[in-house]
Amino acid sequence: MRPNICVVGMGYVGLPLAVAFDAEGYNVTGFDISPDVVRTLRGGVDTTGEISDARVESSDITFTDDPAAMDSAEYVVIAVPTPVDEVYRPDLSYVEAAGETIGEHIERGTTVVLESTVFPGATEEILAPAISRTSGWSAGEGFYVGYSPERAVPGDREHGLHNVVKVVSGGSEAVRDDLADLYSSIVGAGVYRAPSIEVAEAAKCIENVQRDVNIALVNELAALFGHWDIDTHSVLEAAGTKWNFHKYQPGLVGGHCIPVDPYYLIHKANRDGYTADLIETARDVNNRVPERLADMTLAALAERAERVGRTVQATTAREGTAETALATNGGEAALEEPSMVVFGVAYKPNTDDVRSSAIETCISLLRSAGVSLAAYDPHVENATIERQFNIDAQEELSFEGFDAALIMTPHREITEYDLEGIRSELGDQPVVADPHAVFRHEGTDSQHAFEYVTL
C-alpha cells in the first residue's frame, strides 16, 4: 500500500507536487493555511494556473486547512514561500512556522522534506529545531529531515516536475535513498542524490545566482553601450555568432527566484565573515535597471514635450529632483501631464505572476514623475493591476490618444501589433518604450516622427 503524504503549501510548487503524487496512487493531503485556497481547490479549481481545473477536480487529494490531517502522514513535504524582507534579509518565518505546526502533529518516524529555497544549512539550523521544539524529538531519532529543492518555472509546461531532474538529499544516506525512491516514482527525468543537505541547498541557490550574474553583465553592457550610442542588441547578435558565447538579453529582473535567491547566499556569507562581491554587485546592477528605464523614458518624454510645444514636468528617477522641459505654444507656456499606456505588468511573459515585480518600481518612478498611467495585461486580472500598481487598468488594450506606450512584458499577444500600428494610435510624435526590443527589427522608419526607446 502506498504511504500517506502531506504537502504543506498549495502554491505553484506544492499543488503540482500533490497532484503528481496523487496520480501515482499515493494517499495525498494538500494542506494550506488559507481557507479560501482550500475552498477553491475543493471546488476543482486550479489556483496556480500550472495544472488545470480538470486535474484538480479529478484528483483524490484531501485539501484542508486543518493541521491535524498531518497526523497520519509518513512523509511531509514543505513548499512554502521564502522571501526576503525590505532590506533583503532572508525571511524564513514561513519555514519555521511550518516546522512548529508539523512538530505538533506528526507521528514518530515521519520524514519531513523541505523544497523551498534556503541558504546552505537552513534545513538543519532552522527547520529541524522548529520541529523539535513542538514534537519533543530530535532530528534523526524521532523524525527525519531531507531537502529536495523545487525547480519549477511558472508558465513553462515543457520543464515541469516530471521533466526536470530532481536533486534529493537527506540527513543520512538512508533517508536520502528513501526519498530518492519516493521522488523517482513521479519524476521521469530521474533524481540526483546529493552527498549532503547543504550541497543540495547551495545548488538550488546558485542555479539562480548564475542567471542573475549573467543578466547583470548584459545590463551593465547595455548601460555602457547606451552611453556610447552603440546598439546593444546588435552587439549581442554579432558576439553570438561565436559558438561558445552565452546568450543573455538586457532587461528587468523580477519574480520570486532570480532577484531573491542571491540574497540567501549573501546573507550566509556576511554572517560567516565573507563578502560575496560579485553576487552583491550583480544584484545592485539589476536593481538599478527599473530606474534606468524610467530615466530613459522620462528623457524621451521631455524631448517630445519640446518637439510638440508643450510644457511637461518630469522628475529624474535617479536624483529625485524636478526638472521642467519648457516649450512655447503660441507664446504661452502650458503644463500638461504626459500620458502613457503600459502593456504587461507580470514579471514574466505569458503568466499572471506579479510577485516581486521590478515593473512595479519602474511604474512607481514614472507615476512620481507626473506621468499619467494606465495598464493592460491579458493575463492579469484588472483588480490585481489596480491594487498592486495603483494605476487604472484597461478592459481592452487601447493606445488611442496616449502620448507614450511602454511594452513592459512581451506577452505573446503583443505580436498582434506592429510598431507602426502602435504609433498610429498614439498621439502626436509619441514615445514607444520597448525595453525587451520586441519591435527592434521593424526599425523606426516612419512618415511620422516618434521616439523609440530600448535598453
Residues assigned a catalytic role: 257
- Give the residue from 434, 436, 432 showing the smallest Cα distance to 451: 432
- The neighbour count for residue 205, using CB atoms within 10 Å, is 23
Cβ pair 298, 304 in contact under 8 A:
no
With b for 16 or more beta-carbon neighbours within 10 A and e for fewer, the 423-446 pattern comes to bebbbebbbbbbbbbbbbeeeeee
Taking CA atoms, 416 is separated from 374, 411, 438, in Å, by 20, 10, 12
Taking CA atoms, 305 is separated from 35, 123, 337, 339, 364, in Å, by 52, 56, 10, 12, 21
> For residue 35, what is its C-alpha cell?
481557507
Can you tell me whether residue 249 is helix, strand or coil? coil
Residue 192 bridge partners (DSSP): 167
Largest CA distance in the chain: 87
- Give the residue from 383, 298, 404, 413 showing the smallest Cα distance to 341: 404
Q: Quote the CA–CA distance of 18 and 24 in Å, as a whole number.
A: 10
Nearby residues of 335 by Cβ (< 8 Å), 6 or more positions away? 311, 312, 313
Bridge-based pairing of strands 431-433 and 372-376 is unpaired
Taking CA atoms, 455 is separated from 121, 234, 239, 246, 406, in Å, by 39, 12, 17, 19, 12
Cβ pair 209, 220 in contact under 8 A:
no
Which strand (E) or helix (H) includes residue 31?
strand 27-31
Can you tell me whether residue 179 is helix, strand or coil? helix
Helix axes 197-227, 232-239, angle to 10 degrees: 120
Cβ pair 320, 294 in contact under 8 A:
no
Cβ pair 269, 205 in contact under 8 A:
no
Task: Give the HSE-up count for residue 377: Cα atoms under 13 Å, Cβ half-sphere.
Answer: 29
Cβ pair 425, 451 in contact under 8 A:
no
